[in-house]
Amino acid sequence: MEYKLILKAIGLEAERAKVKAWAVGGFARDRFIGKTTKDIDICVEGDTHSLIDFCVKKYGAEAKCFKAFGTARVNLACGLKLDFVRCRAELYPKPAALPKVRPSGLKDDLMRRDFTCNALALSIMPGEFLKEYDLFNSREAISKGYIEVLHDKSFVDDPTRLFRAVRFSARFGWPLGKNTERLFREAVREKRASLLSRQRIVNEFVKILREKCSYKALKLADKYGLLDFVFGNLKYGSKIDTLSTFEEKIALLSLMQGERGADFVSSLLLPKEGTALCFEVLKWREAKAAPAKALSAKAVKIIKLYKPAVEPFKLRPLLLKAEDALALGFKGGEIGSALKKLAKAQYRGKIKNKRAAVSFLKNLK
Ligand code: ATP
Ligand code: MG
């Protein structure tokens, strides 16, 4: 219950600073369905700085302030992550562009949100602590369970909402509302997602893969033709959800893409560390040879998941090392080429143990 005490204290500070504050978005939605989350979006009518300073001073919190508009992420030692934003109205100068914003009140701030289920606000002010501000039928959307946009231009303004829609729909098992489904199909038909930068599309795809129900979300995106904007003819399967990390999921997906595995991975614009596992499994498959170094446990897990019938000897590291070949009288460049041949033979199941490997090399002499 610590979060309540903290929100109450922030509410008191808001009153002192003569601003108003609400907990909104995912926190309000999840609380309504009986879940508490540690990520809380707090929107403030007025300046956010006094509330951010308060959290830093009172809780020794770490604050990262983002450029414009008094937006900050405040991390508290207890694990709460507070995102402060100033209430704003948004104007999209053209479809899929980043919006122009101006300070505004709660109503405009809720109006700019993606879906009605994410537009509930809970006051944190003294005297009305946790009072619901339901200006857009959020309670109905959450209790009946459906995903509905707030206005008909929503997907045109910001096509990342198409990806968010399938993600929330899969996560909660809530279908798209009738009007929203129509607008969704229209936005796909008009190729609205292709106006987004590659990075923004990839970010949404990554968020889908971070869900427990990625398969369901991908299937839904596929059903509506949205997946083509991520990677044409993407192959995927329900096995991805037996994996818990994003890193493992993309490694499995990279194998599933066959010849296009490496293209798929590069298309995700990930930092090098994030793709090591993908390239480990892809390299193993392309080489069709025993790996010189033992495969990591994660790589073995992914390969077995992809191909349960893989023979165990195909996963074993090379039985001999360069020093073994040297001891057998191989020199310089001969060593590498002899071990390469051994690696292929071992992968094909012709060499089962070290003794057989030694005699294989001797025969190459
Ligand atoms: P999660 O449980 O995945 O964190 P969330 O609803 O909190 O779900 P966030 O991505 O954390 O989603 O965003 C917080 C809130 O900001 C959302 O609830 C929504 O109101 C708003 N929001 C985020 N992205 C958009 C967007 N592209 N368009 C409109 N509103 C958005
Ligand atoms: Mg959130």
The 10s digit of each residue's pLDDT in 5-51 is: 999 999 999 999 999 999 999 999 999 999 989 999 999 999 999 99
Scored b (16 or more CB within 10 A) or e, 15-31 reads eebebbbbbbbbbbbbb
pLDDT of residue 239: 98
pLDDT in tens, 62-111: 899 876 777 899 999 999 999 999 999 999 999 999 999 999 999 999 99
Match 């170094």 to its residue by tokens.
293
pLDDT of residue 193: 98
Query: Taking residues 245-256, what's their average pLDDT?
Result: 97
Check pocket membership of 257 for ligand 1, CB cut-off 6 A: no
Check pocket membership of 39 for ligand 1, CB cut-off 6 A: yes
Tokens of 199: 């990075």
Choose which residue among 80, 114, 160 to substitute to test ligand 1 binding: the one with the highest number of ligand atoms within 8 A of its C-beta: 114
Query: Taking residues 340-361, what's their average pLDDT?
Result: 96
Q: With a cut of 90, say whether residue 261 has pLDDT above it.
A: yes
Q: Please give the Cα distance from 33 to 212 (Å, whole number).
A: 18
Q: Please give the Cα distance from 222 to 340 (Å, whole number).
A: 42
* Per-residue pLDDT band at 1 (split at 50, 70, 90): low
Contacts of 95 (CB under 8 A, 6+ apart): 156, 157, 159, 192, 195
* C-alpha 270 – ligand 2 centre gap (Å): 22
End-to-end Cα, the chain, rounded Å: 74
The DSSP call for residue 176 is B
Q: With a cut of 90, say whether residue 182 has pLDDT above it.
A: yes
Residue nearest to atom 21 of ligand 1 (CA): 113
Check pocket membership of 167 for ligand 1, CB cut-off 6 A: no
Contact 154, 114 (CB under 8 A): yes
pLDDT of residue 227: 98
* C-alpha 25 – ligand 2 centre gap (Å): 7
pLDDT of residue 33: 96
pLDDT of residue 273: 86
Q: With a cut of 70, say whether residue 213 has pLDDT above it.
A: yes
Check pocket membership of 114 for ligand 1, CB cut-off 6 A: yes
Check pocket membership of 192 for ligand 1, CB cut-off 6 A: no
Beta bridge partners of 71: 66
Choose which residue among 27, 39, 41, 90 to substitute to test ligand 1 binding: the one with the highest number of ligand atoms within 8 A of its C-beta: 41
Q: Please give the Cα distance from 346 to 327 (Å, whole number).
A: 20
pLDDT of residue 60: 85
pLDDT in tens, 326-347: 999 999 999 999 999 999 999 9
* C-alpha 240 – ligand 1 centre gap (Å): 24
Check pocket membership of 161 for ligand 1, CB cut-off 6 A: yes
Query: Taking residues 187-195, what's their average pLDDT?
Result: 98
* C-alpha 172 – ligand 2 centre gap (Å): 14
Query: Taking residues 280-301, what's their average pLDDT?
Result: 96
pLDDT of residue 61: 82
pLDDT of residue 317: 96
Average pLDDT, the chain: 96
Residue nearest to atom 16 of ligand 1 (CA): 25
Residue nearest to atom 6 of ligand 1 (CA): 26
Query: Taking residues 132-142, what's their average pLDDT?
Result: 98
pTM value is 0.95
pLDDT in tens, 305-315: 999 999 999 99
Residue 330: other Cβ atoms inside 10 A:
19
* C-alpha 26 – ligand 2 centre gap (Å): 5
pLDDT in tens, 224-243: 999 999 999 999 999 999 99
182 phi/psi in degrees, rounded to 5: -65, -45
* C-alpha 27 – ligand 1 centre gap (Å): 10
* C-alpha 74 – ligand 2 centre gap (Å): 13
Residue nearest to atom 2 of ligand 1 (CA): 26
Query: Taking residues 170-198, what's their average pLDDT?
Result: 98
Of the candidates 261, 259, 260, which has an alpha carbon nearest to the alpha carbon of residue 277? Answer: 261
Q: With a cut of 90, say whether residue 195 has pLDDT above it.
A: yes
Ligand index nearest the alpha carbon of residue 164: 1
* C-alpha 104 – ligand 2 centre gap (Å): 21
Contact 148, 160 (CB under 8 A): no
* Per-residue pLDDT band at 209 (split at 50, 70, 90): very high
